[in-house]
Every structure is written in C-alpha cells, then in structure tokens.
Amino acid sequence: MRRKIVAGNWKMNGSKDLVKQLVGAVREQSGSVGEDVEVVIVPPAIYLGQVAEQGGERITTGVQNVSQWQSGAYTGEISAEMARDMGCGYALVGHSERRQLFGETDSVAAAKVEQVLSSGLVAVLCVGETLAEREAGKAEAVVAEQVRNGLAAVAGDQWSRVVVAYEPVWAIGTGKTATAGDAQAMHSEIRKVLAGMNAPANEISVLYGGSVKADNAAALFAEPDIDGGLIGGASLKAEEFISICRSFPAGV
C-alpha cells in the first residue's frame, strides 16, 4: 500500500512563537489522524530543529530546499546531509517557486534528487505546468518531461524514497484548484511516466498541491491516484491543516 502523506510547506513564513503554537497544536490533535497518514511539516530551514523538537514522534520534518552540492565553499547553501543531521525525513526538490524565482532547471533538480537520496532522505520532486502551458495543450508533456529529467538518475531501491508532488503552477496561492477529476488525470499520467522509467509506479506516492483546503481535500484524496497533499497557506492554520490530514476516505 502506498504511503499517505500530508506535508505542510510553510514557505518563507514562521517565527519561534508560531512553531511553538502551531506545531504543538498539530501534535496534540494528531491522535485524530489515521495512523497510516504521515504528517510532515516543512518550515524555513532556520526553524528545522525547533519543529523537530516540538513535533515529537508523530510529526516528520522536511526541508524546503537543499544544495546540489554535498559540501564546500557554497555560502548560504544547506546540504541534504545537514538536513538529515537536523532530524529531517523529507526534502522538497524543484518547487515551482524555486524554478520560477531562482532559475532552477530540471538538471539542477536531478542533481538535488541525487544528493537527497544519497543522504537517506525522501526526495519530493515537485512538478507542474503553467496556465499558458495548460491552455496550449502541453500540460501532460511538460509534467512528463519534468518527471523524467528530475528522476533520471534514480535506480533500484532508491525508488522507495521518491515522492512526486504535482502542483499546477496556476493553482499555487491563487485560490484556484484543479478539479478532483483533472488532478486525478494528471496523477494517472505521472504514474504512467514512472512505469515507463522502470520504476515501481504503483508503489510511489503522488501528492497534489495547489490551494488544497479542508473543504476540497476529501474530494481530492478520494481519487485512486492521489495519495495526499503538499499544502501551502492552509498549513499555517493548525485546525485547517489537521482537518486536511483527516480527509482521507475511511478504509482506503
């Protein structure tokens, strides 16, 4: 059975007080979340230690970005090994904001995936099309290329530490979201691409991101190829985030 994951990406938001209050509240309410659902919080790197401490055993910590280099004279960079040393279990790679604002390419994403996997962390490769690409009928081709290029060096048992997060760029922070059917269709395509790469496609979790909220999470998570969510703004509200974590259909 594929793992169910709800990961809260705080982006560049947070404070010591927020960590204490929000993570504490999520931890206290996590008993109402199914035991088979992995709750992940992905804060700015400066708060990783505090989140790991506050989260306890029920919450896994993730890092928003890592370097494509293992170590060395790269001022301002954080290595995957450092993230693991701070207690992280997951690392985001290739988020659309990294691609758009910082010029990260598929080749950079691939190098980061290699670093993440070699460090023992789970790599969450983020993929997604822009509105212009979708309207031009290129959505599936764009996403397929991002998956193939970003995971090109993955092989063997490394696939067990790969997660794909599909986030249509036009739905991130806009209040818009793909319909459950549209999201399912793309997730199914992603699984076909993975199968074509000789990956164990039916064992790899594929998450949906893009304005996921408590009122639409259940419909999304009920789809057969959607294994959870990468949550942005809603992860900064404890009650909403926990509601999303509870949104998986019973018995699935």
| Cβ atoms 5, 162 nearer than 8 A | no
Query: Any known ligand binding at 205?
Result: no
Q: Is 223 considered catalytic here?
A: no
Distance between CA atoms of 75 and 72, rounded to whole angstroms?
8
Query: Any known ligand binding at 128?
Result: no
Active-site annotation holder among 38, 81, 95, 104: 95
Q: Is 187 considered catalytic here?
A: no
Active-site annotation holder among 167, 187, 189, 240: 167
How far out from the chain centre does Cα 218 lie?
Answer: 18
Within 10 angstroms of residue 166's Cβ, the number of other Cβ atoms is 26
Query: Any known ligand binding at 79?
Result: no
Within 10 angstroms of residue 31's Cβ, the number of other Cβ atoms is 8
Backbone angles phi, psi at 210, to 5 degrees: 130, 85
Query: Any known ligand binding at 173?
Result: yes
| Cβ atoms 112, 89 nearer than 8 A | no
| Cβ atoms 125, 163 nearer than 8 A | yes
β-bridge mates for residue 5, sequence order: 38, 228
Query: Any known ligand binding at 232?
Result: yes
Catalytic residue numbers?
95, 167
Q: Which residues are annotated as a binding site?
A: 9-11, 173, 211, 232-233
Q: Which residues are annotated as a binding site for substrate?
A: 9-11, 173, 211, 232-233
